[in-house]
């Protein structure tokens, strides 16, 4: 039996010039993931991440607490869903029949809550058979790439290993739906509640993989209480 920890990146910089950069809170969250792994005797044999800055930086900070150097293997198939592209290409079609979405877009999506409501509508349309927009990556291509990356990791690393994958909420939701045998229409139910730097654990043996637990951020709650600060964030 081997273990994979799917770790969402720390808080990104919503509203800043460079969203892909970790916020100061995101840096702390990533460091505390490393402390948690170290203090609980979780030694990683290998690490993977997408190529987004927030994913790579989270991996860098977390891996710094490992007892030995762990190289981070970059695989862009672990990248986040391309939400900005989806908003650009799908919203103009969706607002024709969705008045609520039209009103949100007119407000300019200046708040993270408004943006998340738009992502909800766009994501669920994207995974549906009705979406045939040629200018974006299809759900089949994205989910297939994430699935292939996971199974290649399992084959390459083999049994008895402990692996960390530093990725994003959309990727984690996609992989959890895959492991549970659910269609894309169910993926957003996992995407929406994933907290920054939460941990999802998978077990695998050969080509069989199962979900152990999902979206655990209790260690951030505890460590934050010990330090007198709030380390838990959703966006």
Structural domain total, the chain:
2
Residue 19 confidence class, pLDDT cut points 50, 70, 90: confident
pLDDT at 203: 98
Question: Structural domain of residue 68, as residue ranges?
Answer: 2-80+137-227
pLDDT tens digit sequence for 178-203: 999 999 999 999 998 999 999 999 99
Helix axes 99-107, 112-126, angle to 10 degrees: 140
Task: Residue 189: count other Cβ atoms within 10 Å of its Cβ.
Answer: 13
| 156 in any annotated domain | yes
pLDDT exceeds cutoff 70 at 25? yes
Helices (H), the chain: 24-39, 53-63, 83-94, 99-107, 112-126, 139-157, 169-179, 187-191, 218-227
Candidates 8, 16, 12; CA nearest to 62 is 8
pTM of the full structure: 0.94
Residue 111 confidence class, pLDDT cut points 50, 70, 90: low
CATH of the domain at 162: 3.40.50.1240
| Cα atoms found within 13 Å of the Cα of residue 74, Cβ hemisphere only | 10
Are 9 and 76 contained in the same domain? Answer: yes
| 132 in any annotated domain | no
Q: How far apart are CA 107 and CA 124, in angstroms?
A: 21
Are 18 and 101 contained in the same domain? Answer: no
Average of per-residue pLDDT across 135-164: 97
């Amino acid at each position: 039996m081997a273990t994979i920890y799917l770790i969402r990146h720390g808080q990104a910089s919503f509203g800043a010039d460079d969203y892909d950069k970790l916020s100061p809170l995101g840096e702390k969250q990533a460091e505390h993931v490393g402390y948690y792994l170290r203090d609980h005797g979780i030694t990683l044999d290998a690490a993977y991440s997408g190529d987004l800055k927030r994913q790579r930086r989270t991996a860098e900070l977390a891996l710094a607490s490992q007892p030995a150097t762990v190289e981070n293997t970059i695989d862009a198939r672990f990248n986040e869903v391309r939400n900005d592209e989806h908003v650009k290409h799908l919203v103009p079609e969706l607002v024709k029949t969705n008045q609520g979405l039209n009103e949100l877009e007119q407000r300019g999506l200046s708040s993270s809550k408004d943006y998340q409501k738009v992502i909800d509508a766009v994501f669920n349309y994207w995974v549906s058979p009705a979406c045939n927009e040629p200018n974006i990556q299809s759900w089949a291509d994205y989910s297939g790439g994430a699935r292939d990356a996971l199974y290649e990791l399992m084959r390459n690393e083999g049994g008895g290993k402990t692996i960390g994958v530093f990725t994003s909420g959309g990727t984690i939701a996609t992989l959890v739906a895959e492991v549970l045998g659910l269609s894309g229409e169910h993926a957003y139910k996992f995407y929406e509640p994933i907290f920054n730097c939460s941990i999802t654990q998978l077990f695998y043996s050969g080509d069989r993989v199962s979900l152990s637990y999902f979206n655990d951020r209790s260690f951030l709650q505890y460590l934050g209480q010990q330090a007198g600060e709030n380390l838990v964030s959703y966006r």
